[in-house]
Amino acid sequence: MKRAVFIFLLLSVSIYASIHETEYYNNLAGAKFGYPEKTYVELKEKSSKGMLFNYYGYLPYWTDTLAYANFDYELLTHVAYFSIELNTDGSIGSVPNPSRFTKIYSECHKRGVRVHMTFTLFGWTSVSNLLNSWTARNSAVSNIINFIDAYSIEGANIDFEYVTSSVKDSFSLFIQNLADSLHLNPSGRKELYIAMPAVPAWYPGYDYASLSDDADGLFIMGYDYHYSGSSEAGPVAPTFNSSYWGYYAVNTTVGDYFDYGASRDKVILGVPYYGYDWPTVSDALKSSTTGSGTAVLFKNAKTNAVSYGYEFDANSQTPYYNYFSASWHQCWYDDSVSIINKLEIAVDSSLQGAGCWALGYDDGEDDLWNAIRSAMQRVPADKHFVVRVTIPTLNVREGPSTAYKVLNTAYAGDEFVAFDFDGYWYKIYYPASSFPYYAYIYGGDGVSVKYMDGDNFVPVVKVTASLLNVRSGPSTSYPILTQTAEGQCFAVESLSGDWAKIMLPDSNSRGWISYASYTAYYADVSLLNDCAFEIDSIDYPDTLTMGETFKLEMFLLNRGFVSADSLVKINSVAHSLFYDLNEWYDSSSVKTYGYDGLPNQKCLRNSNFKAGNVIKDTLVTEKFFLEREGDIASDTFEITIFIKYSESGKHENEIKLNIIENKNERYVLFDVLGRKVFEDNGRFSSNVPLKSGVYFLISFYDNRFFRKKIFLFK
């Protein structure tokens, strides 16, 4: 019986078209079809701040170009124009409203936003006919590649609704072939993203692990949990599951994708900029619907909620409102509050990012842009650090492997601002006029391979102007070399008045920007970041004779966002018997030196210690921890050494006190055990030899006596 119920649920869910399909066909009557003008616009520098996460927005063909001016491009990394229909023989149709595609292509490329074209195929039969034909699949791959090359865009989005179990393998093979063709494109690597269902269990035709391996991104359509044809009104995209609404919700969807084999760094969590207005029996929650729901754009839902009364459902963490017009209506949608919660799920789950259906649905409102900025944007100096090339030449690539295209060559001493890493590949700001807005550079593991190290002492500037000129010299009288956009970060080489000299990564040249008025200046970004090290191993001798010096070697895993440097100290919990006057800051703090390891690297840091004086063979254990600029940077660790007493060793290192106690008539010296070791009349003299150790000096003068504790270290 349970099996039958599941099958019925699967069929009933799939009968109704997704919001993508419904709106595609609903707006066809007003569309003009044709082919875009082939105008090449370079992909310029990205103006996003931080850019730790991608934000992928679908742009429907029916969204007017007037809305484009309201887009906050600094928060977008990708725009997917929606869409071109694929035919079952693999041929592709023309572009709906091609002038709009040309417009968004230009607007995006000027700001460093990558452009994709969405290729759609709706209906089980059509999808099956194409995928079951080897010829049709190959034709589709070829035609998609030709379109991308012809219009110089960055990739494709595949939206097939829906893929059944009967063509599961064929769809995976199609995606694999298309991905290979895009990634190995002679004109440069192109991207492939796929529109994916909200509930994996309902759609077994997708090989989630295989698709994750081949594609650059899986866009989860995290909406339509309640859809147009739902029998009861409810949240379009419940943020959290609950006993009231059931298991399926955005948070469980993300977890299910992992269970089905999708990689975190491939998943894009799509959020809805729309809702559904259903006619209902009453205004009660879970009220039965009396007809199909009508899509309501965010802008309109926000306005209506003010008029009818805003309600927020604690179970799903989404808003809704009720109103009566001939009958009861209930509208569920998402606003900035619910979307922030969804975006934080993406951030907390370490996804590649998030995205939306669809751009323009906010119609000039800034609520949702502010939600993205609040939840996903990272600004300097949080998690920003400077990397420095240490070998003669080092390739700068489009992505985090040698399979990606080489953008440029960096040279020894070149410094970049990094803000993320993938293994030992470091993601750097790369605001070139003809290259992507970021790039990757390989630093090595920090032990066997050291291609880069860190430099915490280089100032960093973040551009705050929307567009800032870079000049050949430190004044406006010098010619403009290029421009850089808001949010870009640079390592500062020098200052001249209100001007900062920065490196231009695309050309390996230097330029000057007016930093005092148009940037945020950070003299030391390391002070704003977490410094944290995991101690991998410690190497030091287990037995020493007192007075011997030794090197302590520590292999550290850098778990923070501050490079290891000379400010990293080893502190003892108490005054240390291993104190070395020449190497330590004081008796409880010792310098370190070695490789300035980057975040996520392993690095070797060394310190010099000395076995202190003991009165007999002694096993000494002391506790230490790492510290940098007042921040505790590691767990406490112990050093245990057997120190052997040596009378000759002590005598060979005699030290004379240069302390003069004036007017002493008689003095006596005692050791730490209270034994008298020296006595003489007159005042204390520096000519008296004393062995290293701790002594008590008692001096007698005019029937008075004075006591002093004397510490003698080598």
Q: Which strand (E) or helix (H) includes residue 647?
A: helix 647-652
| Residue 409: pLDDT band with limits 50, 70, 90 | very high
Closest CA to 674 of 704, 654, 694: 694
Reply yes or no: is the peptide bond before residue 439 cis, omega within 30 of 0.
Answer: no
Tokens 């969405």 map to which residue? 118
Q: Cα separation of 600 and 591, whole Å? A: 22
For residues 541 and 689, which has the higher predicted lDDT (pLDDT)? 541
- Let me know: does 633 contact 533? Beta carbons within 8 Å: yes
Q: How confident is the model over 188-226, as pLDDT tens digits?
A: 999 999 999 999 999 999 999 999 999 999 999 999 999
For residues 432 and 428, which has the higher predicted lDDT (pLDDT)? 428
Instruction: Provide DSSP, 354-369.
Output: EEEE-TTTTTT--HHH
Helices 367-376 & 298-308 angle (0-180, nearest 10) = 110
Q: What pLDDT is recorded for position 679?
A: 76
Q: Cα separation of 32 and 586, whole Å? A: 78
Q: What pLDDT is recorded for position 664?
A: 42
Q: What is the mean predicted confidence (pLDDT) over 620-636? A: 92
- Let me know: does 127 contact 162? Beta carbons within 8 Å: yes
Q: What pLDDT is recorded for position 656?
A: 36
Architecture in CATH of 2-275+337-376? Alpha-Beta Barrel (3.20)
Q: Cα separation of 661 and 669, whole Å? A: 13
Q: What pLDDT is recorded for position 631?
A: 86
Whether residue 666 is predicted with pLDDT greater than 80 in this model: the reply is no
Q: What is the mean pLDDT of the chain?
A: 88
Distances (CA, A) of 698 to 187, 607, 674, 678, 679: 88, 38, 12, 11, 10
The CATH number, out of the four listed (3.40.30.10, 3.30.1360.120, 2.30.30.40, 3.40.50.11610), of the domain defined by the range 385-528: 2.30.30.40
Is 378 exposed, middle or buried, given 0-12, 13-18 or 19+ CB atoms closer than 10 A?
Answer: middle
Q: What pLDDT is recorded for position 701?
A: 59
Least confidently predicted of 401-405, 531-535, 682-686: 682-686
Q: What is the mean predicted confidence (pLDDT) over 670-683? A: 68
3-state secondary structure 678-707: EEEECCCCCCCEECCEEEEEEEEECCEEEE
Least confidently predicted of 37-51, 67-81, 511-525, 655-669: 655-669
Residue type, 204: P
Q: What pLDDT is recorded for position 708?
A: 61
Name every residue whose Cβ is closer than 8 Å to that of residue 264 and which is 6 or more positions away in sequence.
Answer: 258, 349, 350, 351, 352
Residue type, 220: I
> What are the residue ranges of helices labelled H in 260-335?
298-308
Q: What pLDDT is recorded for position 232?
A: 98
Closest CA to 519 of 482, 476, 458, 464: 464
Q: How far is CA 244 from the centre of its chain?
A: 35
Least confidently predicted of 237-251, 427-441, 642-656: 642-656
Q: Cα separation of 667 and 561, whole Å? A: 58
212 sits in the region (left: phi over 0; alpha: psi -120 to 50; else beta) called: alpha
CATH of domain 533-649: 2.60.40.10
Least confidently predicted of 317-326, 354-363, 415-424: 415-424
Tokens 């063909």 map to which residue? 61
Whether residue 696 is predicted with pLDDT greater than 80 in this model: the reply is no
- Let me know: does 250 contact 237? Beta carbons within 8 Å: yes
| Residue 504: pLDDT band with limits 50, 70, 90 | confident
| Residue 130: pLDDT band with limits 50, 70, 90 | very high
Q: What pLDDT is recorded for position 328?
A: 98
| Residue 261: pLDDT band with limits 50, 70, 90 | very high
Q: What is the mean predicted confidence (pLDDT) over 629-633? A: 88
What secondary structure letter does DSSP report for 462?
Answer: E
Q: What is the mean predicted confidence (pLDDT) over 226-244? A: 97
Pairing of strands 217-220, 191-196: parallel
Q: What is the mean predicted confidence (pLDDT) over 2-9? A: 35
Instruction: Provide DSSP, 288-300.
Output: BBSS--EEEEHHH
For residues 679 and 281, which has the higher predicted lDDT (pLDDT)? 281
Q: Cα separation of 50 and 488, whole Å? A: 8
Q: Cα separation of 164 and 128, whole Å? A: 8
Q: Which strand (E) or helix (H) includes residue 134?
A: helix 134-151
Q: How confident is the model over 163-183, as pLDDT tens digits?
A: 999 999 999 999 999 999 999
Whether residue 432 is predicted with pLDDT greater than 70 in this model: the reply is no
Q: What pLDDT is recorded for position 438?
A: 79
Question: Helix and strand tally (H, E) in the chain?
Answer: 13, 46
| Residue 524: pLDDT band with limits 50, 70, 90 | confident
| Residue 343: pLDDT band with limits 50, 70, 90 | very high
Whether residue 429 is predicted with pLDDT greater than 90 in this model: the reply is no
- CA-based torsion, 286, 287, 292, 293: positive or negative: negative
Closest CA to 419 of 488, 371, 466: 488
Distances (CA, A) of 365 to 284, 370, 377: 30, 10, 19
- Let me know: does 574 contact 624? Beta carbons within 8 Å: no
Distances (CA, A) of 626 to 528, 564, 589, 606, 637: 18, 11, 10, 12, 9
Q: Cα separation of 515 and 401, whole Å? A: 34
| Residue 450: pLDDT band with limits 50, 70, 90 | very high
Whether residue 659 is predicted with pLDDT greater than 80 in this model: the reply is no
Q: Cα separation of 343 and 351, whole Å? A: 10
Whether residue 686 is predicted with pLDDT greater than 50 in this model: the reply is no
The radius of gyration of the chain from alpha carbons, rounded to an integer in Å, stands at 34
Whether residue 699 is predicted with pLDDT greater than 90 in this model: the reply is no
Whether residue 478 is predicted with pLDDT greater than 70 in this model: the reply is yes
Whether residue 671 is predicted with pLDDT greater than 70 in this model: the reply is no
For residues 323 and 9, which has the higher predicted lDDT (pLDDT)? 323
Name every residue whose Cβ is closer than 8 Å to that of residue 687 and which is 6 or more positions away in sequence.
Answer: 656
Q: How confident is the model over 55-86, as pLDDT tens digits?
A: 999 999 999 999 999 999 888 999 999 999 99
φ, ψ for residue 281, nearest 5 deg = -70, -40
| Residue 7: pLDDT band with limits 50, 70, 90 | very low
Whether residue 242 is predicted with pLDDT greater than 80 in this model: the reply is yes
Q: What is the mean predicted confidence (pLDDT) over 681-685? A: 62
% of the chain residues with pLDDT over 90: 69
Residue type, 581: L
Q: Cα separation of 178 and 158, whole Å? A: 10
Q: What pLDDT is recorded for position 49?
A: 37
Closest CA to 471 of 493, 497, 444, 504: 504
Q: How confident is the model over 15-63, as pLDDT tens digits?
A: 478 999 999 999 999 999 999 998 888 887 554 434 568 999 999 999 9
Domain assignments of the chain as residue spans, ordered by start? 2-275+337-376, 385-528, 533-649, 654-712
Distances (CA, A) of 277 to 99, 305, 474, 595: 32, 12, 59, 62
Whether residue 2 is predicted with pLDDT greater than 50 in this model: the reply is no
